[in-house]
């Protein structure tokens, strides 16, 4: 009953129409594409270098959809994690079916490194490298979206998973609250570009209770994930945050985990909610359902790699996200 109510509420707020997509008009920006390349660190493990790009709405994997018959709908920008665009195709469809305009992209293709599969990106490239590419594309996509007149650009929401969750958490530290009303960060990692000292819009941190992804401790959870500061880098375009004092120049120190970050932000006046979900691991909308297990990364570490969720958990997570959105209109 509550779930049905939330759906009806969303229908009223966004003028929910059919599940068909209107065809938006876009201007191509090929000059915005990057020219990055893989840089080996050791066998089967890489960082990236080269020229960072921005956002071209005509890149082949970009999907910008407007619900048919809905005037000026709210926009959900979904930001993929380390595995690439497939990380958010399921969530993108779920939001579109709720009456949102939706935008997804492949940051790796946008930055000039297409053709690699999701497993390569997830296990053979550093967090900081993936996040630099995803962040740069996502920031440019946000700046592109706020110029649109076919959406309500005063009601934009950001959703990110895994490395994308870290990206949208950082974006929460610089977006304009006149445009962005809330950020949903699923399975966030503090490792890579760090997390911001302050946020400008409400953030929901979401974790599956079965999420052990990236944790070397067999009993560890995503929300306790941490590592040595040497795995963080300072990246000029992210807001001031943990990577300023915890980075490659301060090895031996520990990166604050997601819950420690959330508490610090709340003490500075930021709004952060933390929610946990039964029957859910990493990336709730991952194709193929719930799968528990471990995997060996390109750096030789064997880490938690449980992904997906049960249908019931995915439904509960979607309901919780819609509730968060309804409370931050």
Each residue's pLDDT tens digit, 176-211: 999 999 999 999 999 999 999 999 999 999 999 999
220-225: Cβ within 8 A, 24+ apart: 220/304, 222/187, 222/188, 222/189, 222/258, 222/282, 223/257, 223/258, 223/259, 223/274, 224/257, 224/259, 225/189, 225/190, 225/191, 225/257, 225/258
User: Within 10 Å of residue 167's Cβ, how many Cβ atoms?
Assistant: 32
Listed as ranges, residues in the chain with pLDDT below 50 are 1-18
DSSP string, 272-306: EEEEEETTB-BSTT-TTS-B--EEE-TTS-EEE--
What does the DSSP 8-state code read for residue 239? P
Question: What domains does the chain contain, in order, with CATH numbers?
Answer: 2-326 (3.40.50.1820)
Pairing of strands 21-22, 294-296: unpaired
Distance of alpha carbon 279 from alpha carbon 251, whole angstroms: 36
Model confidence over 144-166: pLDDT tens digits?
Answer: 999 999 999 999 999 999 999 99
Tokens describing residue 25: 């008009």
Give residue 193's pLDDT.
98
Give residue 15's pLDDT.
39
Give residue 288's pLDDT.
77
Which of 141, 147, 149 is CA-nearest to residue 158? 141
Asked if 315 and 97 count as a contact pair (C-beta separation under 8 A), the reply is no
Model confidence over 65-91: pLDDT tens digits?
Answer: 999 988 899 999 999 999 999 999 999
C-alpha distances out from residue 182 to 1, 89, 204, 243, Å = 25, 20, 8, 23
Any idea of the CA torsion for 185, 186, 192, 196, to the nearest 10 degrees?
20
C-alpha distances out from residue 261 to 191, 203, 225, Å = 12, 12, 12
Give residue 10's pLDDT.
42
Tokens describing residue 263: 């508490």
Q: What are phi and psi of 152, to 5 degrees?
A: -85, 100
Give residue 20's pLDDT.
64
Residue labelled with tokens 């929401």: 157
Whole-number percent of the chain with pLDDT over 90: 84
Distance of alpha carbon 292 from alpha carbon 290, whole angstroms: 7
């Amino acid at each position: 009953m509550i779930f049905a109510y939330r759906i009806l509420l969303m229908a009223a707020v966004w003028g929910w129409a059919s599940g068909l997509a209107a065809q938006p008009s876009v201007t191509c920006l090929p000059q915005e594409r990057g020219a990055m390349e893989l840089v080996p660190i050791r066998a089967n493990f890489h960082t990236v270098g080269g020229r960072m790009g921005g956002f071209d709405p005509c890149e082949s994997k970009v999907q910008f959809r407007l619900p048919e018959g809905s005037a000026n709908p709210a926009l959900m920008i979904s930001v993929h994690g380390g595995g690439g665009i497939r990380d958010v195709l399921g969530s993108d469809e779920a939001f579109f079916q709720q009456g949102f305009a939706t935008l997804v992209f492949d940051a790796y293709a946008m930055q000039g490194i297409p053709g690699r599969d999701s497993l390569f990106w997830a296990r053979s490239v550093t967090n900081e490298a993936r996040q630099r590419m995803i962040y740069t594309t996502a920031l440019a996509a946000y700046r592109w979206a706020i110029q649109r007149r076919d959406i309500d650009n005063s009601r934009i929401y950001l959703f990110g998973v895994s490395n994308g969750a870290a990206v949208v958490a950082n974006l929460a530290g610089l977006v304009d609250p006149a445009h962005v009303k809330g950020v949903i960060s699923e399975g966030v990692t503090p490792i890579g570009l760090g997390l911001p000292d302050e946020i400008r819009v409400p953030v929901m941190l979401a974790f599956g209770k079965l999420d052990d992804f990236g944790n070397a401790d067999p009993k560890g959870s995503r929300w306790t994930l941490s590592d040595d500061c040497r795995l963080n880098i300072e990246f000029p375009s992210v807001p001031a945050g943990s990577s300023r004092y915890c980075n490659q120049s301060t090895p031996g120190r520990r990166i604050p985990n997601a819950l420690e970050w959330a508490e610090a932000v709340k003490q500075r006046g930021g709004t952060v909610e933390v929610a946990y979900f039964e029957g859910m691991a990493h990336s709730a909308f991952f194709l193929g359902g719930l799968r528990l297990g471990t995997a060996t990364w390109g750096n030789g570490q064997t880490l938690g790699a449980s992904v997906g969720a049960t249908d019931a958990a995915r439904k509960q997570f979607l309901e919780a996200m819609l509730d968060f959105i309804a409370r931050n209109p």
